[in-house]
Amino acid sequence: MQQTRREFLALFSRTAGCFVATASVNALVGCSIPRSGASAYGFPQGVASADPQPDAVVLWTRVVPEAPDAEESVALRLQLARDEEFSEVVLEDTFTAERELDYTVRCFVDGLEPARTWYYRFIDPDDGTSRTGRTRTAPAPDADATLTAGLCSCQHYEEGLFSAYRRLVLDDAEAPADRKIDLVIHTGDYIYEGNERRQTDADGQPIEIVNRDGSPRRVPDVPEAVTLDDYRELYRTYLSDPDLQEARAMFPFVHTWDDHELFNDYWQSFHPSGPMQRRKVDANQAWFEYIPAALSFAQAGPTGTNPARDFIPGEVEDMEPADFDDDYLSHEPNNLAAIGTLAIHRTLRWGRMVELIVVDGRSYRGPRGLDNAILGSATVAYTNAPLPAQLIEVQNAGRTANGGNPPETVELNGEELTNTRRDAPRSSLLGAAQKAWLKESLTASDARWKAICNDVPLLRFGFDMSFREHGNLDDLWWTDSWDGYPVERRELMSFVRDNSLSNVVSLTGDRHAHFAGLVYDDFDGDAPTPAVPEFAGTAISAGPRLKNQVAFSGGDPEVDRLIVFDGRDVGIEGAVLPALNAWLLFGHEAAATLSATGDTDAARGAANPAVNPHLSYADTDALGYTVVRFTTERAEAEFVTIEQPDRDYGDAGPPVRRRVRFSVPVWEPGDAPTLVAGGSEGEPPLMGFKV
Ligand SMILES: [Fe+2]
């Protein structure tokens, strides 16, 4: 049966440009030795590996023929060896890169020994060779091995160089053997569909960024991705970045996606600006071509099955959402067909230590708890002020609000507005099937740690708007993440609590800022209790939260001063300084005091302890990455903030502005998690520590 399934998968996947090969136990004799010399082919996007398993890993490349249109396919040889010199080759096999898949190939190689470093390269028909990639297999299922992982997200090509990856690679080279990076978790926004975004300098002037080779860092032909070739062009361009290529060649990656792999703030295959089934299919195909992952070949997880599946092309038309079920899934056939072309939620096991549970927060979600009709515009993505949590709660709950008796109106700024979600289903972020799978994976896994790899934060980010007539202490602004789905968040966190699940952590990105905190079982309950710690790492290069947030305030000076201030006005160094850390951790009075005086002692004196008591750390003026580490005793995070990657720092990599460490000790079933500050180096973020 095993063989039959494997054969079936091999056949199925071959049509999708996936190949399977089994490594030999013994080194092969008589392997081809590529000669150096002129080749009519190239590997401009480098090589990559992904989803390490104890006996297997996925290897990827893209080959470019000199005359692309002349060749339907290119035969590539893959070599995998135990050593960098390829003196112990254990696999040599031939695969075909098809033009139909933009000459990309994915090879699932099994038969490997666990917990080992491997080297691989691809050889073109002219004997030209790709760069050598390095990868690593997961430990044996019963091994007590620690996991050290990079945590990355949000890389906008035009907004900055991907220098953070250079820092990660250089730091790893210096790290002691027991702290080497095993894999890199990427929680999405690997590309941005919208270009023409610029970083700005202290005076708000756009910065023109130049690549290492002197070329302008632009994607001129794709102002906004619409077609399959647009999405491909974005991946090709993003992967031309030498630092990203280096990281991909050095570490296996574990990917999920967020919205920008398709379109800002989309859900299922919809957006207020119009249905986008065709774009969903095209974005799925481009992701599948350029992002390696073990999908059809992923190991069965704790549930005994594996929901992920390779890309299958689908013919769809753009149709408005219709025919919703109780979890807000639109059964409109084109929607189901579009989101059904690719399934990426899956688990990966790191010995006895960690179950990585990778979720897809986009393909099955319903609209968030915030109705654009209420806001008076069909396309508003962000409100220019935070909204009451109660309004979002009622909207999110739809017809299930108030015990199935939803109010006819909701209140906003003292006005009674029609509750447009009164007859709507309750909205879900994961969708019913994925949520059931997540719950079952959490309860069935016997790994010491269960790490949910989330595209968006679970943490609540309350904005203290109590200085306004209708404002509250915990109004919400970032509702495209779990803050827009409070009902399902409460359901999941209560599930963790009620089942006495311990050592569950959430790893995420999305906010273009570093945050550490505790997700409560019920933020609005009588006695909120921590259920799941979360480490939210910042962006590689997409606009830092601080600058983004100013753009969302609509120029409201009372709000702006709570986000950012000019240090030169109050006699401290720095032109663009964050008040936002203080606003989130200590409330509006603290942030306003900081903005007006630059005096952090005075600002702390004005702190309100009721503001976001679950947040411990905020660095909202940060780009970089995070390193997480899981051991028998604790889960640790080191938040790394680099200097702005608006210029090339060369082979030395970008300087580090700060490193900040937090950890979570293991906790017993029935206990609650705690978050422990673990020291820092460099200039601390302005009022970024709760304690
Ligand atoms: Fe992002």
Give me ligand 1 centre to Cα 156, in Å.
8
The larger pLDDT score, comparing residue 277 to residue 384, is at 277
Six-digit token pair at 131?
């760069």
Q: For residue 554, which of 377, 323, 357 has the smallest C-alpha distance?
A: 377
Distance 543 CA to ligand 1 centre (A): 8
pLDDT of residue 1: 42
Q: With 80 as the cut, is the pLDDT of residue 80 above it?
A: yes
Ligand 1 mean position, distance from CA 510 (Å): 5
pLDDT score of 220: 86
Say which residue the tokens 């409330």 belong to: 587
In this predicted structure, the answer to whether residue 641 has a pLDDT above a threshold of 60 is yes
* Order of strands, sheet of 449-453, starting from the edge strand that comes earlier in the sequence: 346-350, 354-358, 449-453, 504-508, 530-536, 514-520, 615-619
Rounded alpha-carbon distances, angstroms, from residue 572 to 84, 365, 576, 631: 52, 45, 11, 41
Distance 162 CA to ligand 1 centre (A): 14
Q: 519: helix, coil or strand?
A: strand
**Which tokens sit at 125?**
């028909």
Q: Tell me the C-alpha distance between 394 and 524, whole Å.
A: 13
3-state secondary structure 509-569: CCCCCEEEEEEECCCCCCCCCEEEEEEECCCCCCCCHHHHHHHHCCCCHHHHCCCEECHHH
Work out the pLDDT band at 376, boundaries 50, 70, 90.
Answer: low
Q: How far is the CA of 174 from the centre of ligand 1 (A)?
A: 29
Phi then psi dihedrals of residue 22, to 5 deg = -115, 130
Distance 512 CA to ligand 1 centre (A): 6
Q: How far apart are CA 522 and CA 530, in angstroms?
A: 9
Share of the chain above pLDDT 70, in %: 96
Give me the pLDDT at residue 414, please: 86
Query: CA-CA distance, 208 to 284, in Å (whole number)?
Result: 31
187 alpha carbon to ligand 1 midpoint, in Å? 9
| Dihedral sign (CA 179, 185, 187, 188) | positive
Distance between the two ends of the chain, CA-based, in angstroms? Answer: 57
pLDDT at 385 over 90: no
Residue 154 CA to ligand 1 centre (angstroms):
4
Q: At what angle do helices 486-498 and 389-397 cross, to 10 degrees?
A: 80
Q: What is the pTM of this model?
A: 0.97
Distance CA 567, CA 596 (A): 9
- Fold (topology level) of 143-372+428-691: Purple Acid Phosphatase; chain A, domain 2 (3.60.21)
Q: Which pLDDT score is estimated for 8?
A: 66
Instruction: For residues 666 and 161, give the distance between their C-alpha atoms in angstroms, rounded to a whole number.
Output: 37
Whole-angstrom Cα Rg for the chain:
25
Query: In the chain, where are the structural domains located?
Result: 1-137, 143-372+428-691
Q: Measure the CA–CA gap between 585 and 578, rounded to whole angstroms.
A: 12
| 113 CA to centre of ligand 1 in angstroms | 36
Question: Can you give the pLDDT at residue 323?
Answer: 97
Average pLDDT over residues 111-117: 97
Give the tens place of pLDDT for each residue, 387-437: 999 999 999 999 999 999 999 999 888 888 889 999 999 999 999 999 999
Q: Three-state DSSP class for 497? A: helix
Distance 440 CA to ligand 1 centre (A): 29
User: Helices H, strands E: what count in the chain?
Assistant: 15, 30
Span 564-596, pLDDT tens digits: 999 999 999 988 999 999 999 999 999 999 999
501 CA to centre of ligand 1 in angstroms: 30
Between 228-238 and 277-290, two packed helices, what is the crossing angle to 10 degrees?
30
| Identity of the amino acid at 264 | N
User: Tokens 């960024």 belong to which residue?
Assistant: 209
Report the separation in Å between the CA atom of 89 and the middle of ligand 1, taken as the mean of its atom positions. Answer: 40
Look up residue 641 and give its two tokens.
Answer: 């903030």
Do the domains spanning 1-137 and 143-372+428-691 agree at the CATH topology level?
A: no
Q: 546 alpha carbon to ligand 1 midpoint, in Å?
A: 13
Angle CA 393–398–401, to nearest 5: 65
| Tokens coding 430 | 């994961």
Q: 186 C-alpha vs ligand 1 centroid, how far in Å?
A: 11
pLDDT at 377 over 60: no
Q: What is the pLDDT of residue 381?
A: 55
Q: How far is the CA of 619 from the centre of ligand 1 (A)?
A: 16
| Nearest-angstrom CA–CA distance, 653 and 173 | 13
Q: Compute, in angstroms, the gap from residue 455 CA to the centroid of ligand 1.
A: 9
pLDDT tens per residue across span 495-506? 999 999 999 999
Per-residue pLDDT tens for 3-56? 566 676 666 666 667 888 999 988 888 777 777 678 999 999 999 999 999 999
Question: How far, in Å, from the CA of 511 to the mean position of ligand 1?
Answer: 6
**Exposure b/e, 156-182, CB count within 10 A at least 16 = b:** bbbbbbbbbbbbbbebbeeeeeeeebb
The rounded Å distance from CA 400 to ligand 1 centre is 31
Q: Is the pLDDT of residue 285 over 80?
A: yes
Centroid of ligand 1 to alpha carbon of 385 (angstroms): 20
| Residue type, position 106, single letter | R
For residue 674, the CA-to-ligand 1 centroid distance in Å is 28
CATH class name, domain 1-137: mainly beta
CA 687 to chain centre: 26
Ligand 1 centre distance from Cα of residue 36 (Å)? 41
Q: What contacts 593, CB < 8 A, 6 or more positions away? A: 599, 602, 603, 605, 606
Taking the CA of residue 350 as centre, how many other CA atoms within 13 Å lie in the half-sphere pointing to its CB?
23
- Those residues whose C-beta lies under 8 Å from the C-beta of residue 418, and which sit 6 or more positions away, are 408, 409, 410
Q: 43 is written with which tokens? A: 């590997």
What is the Cα–Cα distance from 27 to 310, expressed in whole angstroms? 31
**How far is 660 from 689, CA to CA, in rounded Å?**
10
* Residue 81 CA to ligand 1 centre (angstroms): 37
What is the tens place of the pLDDT at every residue in 512-541? 999 999 999 999 999 999 999 999 999 999
- For ligand 1, the distance from its centroid to the CA atom of residue 197, given in whole angstroms, is 13
Q: What is the model's pLDDT at position 203?
A: 77
> Which of 82-85's residues contact partners 24+ apart within 8 Å by CB, and which partners?
82/27, 82/116, 82/118, 82/119, 83/119, 84/119, 84/132, 84/134
11 exposed, middle or buried (CB, 10 Å; 0-12, 13-18, 19+)?
exposed
CA 542 / ligand 1 centre spacing (Å): 6
Q: How far, in Å, is the centroid of ligand 1 from the Cα of 577? A: 21
Residue 57: both structure tokens together: 């890993």
CA of 153 to the centre of ligand 1 (A): 7
Distance 643 CA to ligand 1 centre (A): 19
Lowest mean pLDDT among 142-151, 292-301, 375-384, 613-622: 375-384
Span from the CA of 568 to the centroid of ligand 1 (angstroms): 30
Helix, strand, coil tally for the chain in percent (to 5): 25, 25, 50
DSSP letter for 82, please.
S
Tell me what pLDDT residue 5 has: 61
CA–centroid distance, residue 259 to ligand 1 (Å): 8
**Paired tokens of 15:** 């049509």
For residues 247-251, give the mean pLDDT: 98
Distance of CA 631 to the CA centre of its chain: 23
Mean pLDDT of the chain: 93
Cα 30 to middle of ligand 1, angstroms: 48
The reported pLDDT for the residue numbered 272 is: 81
Percent of the chain with pLDDT over 90: 84
Q: Are 91 and 109 in contact (CB under 8 A)?
A: yes
**CA of 403 relative to ligand 1 center, distance in Å:** 35
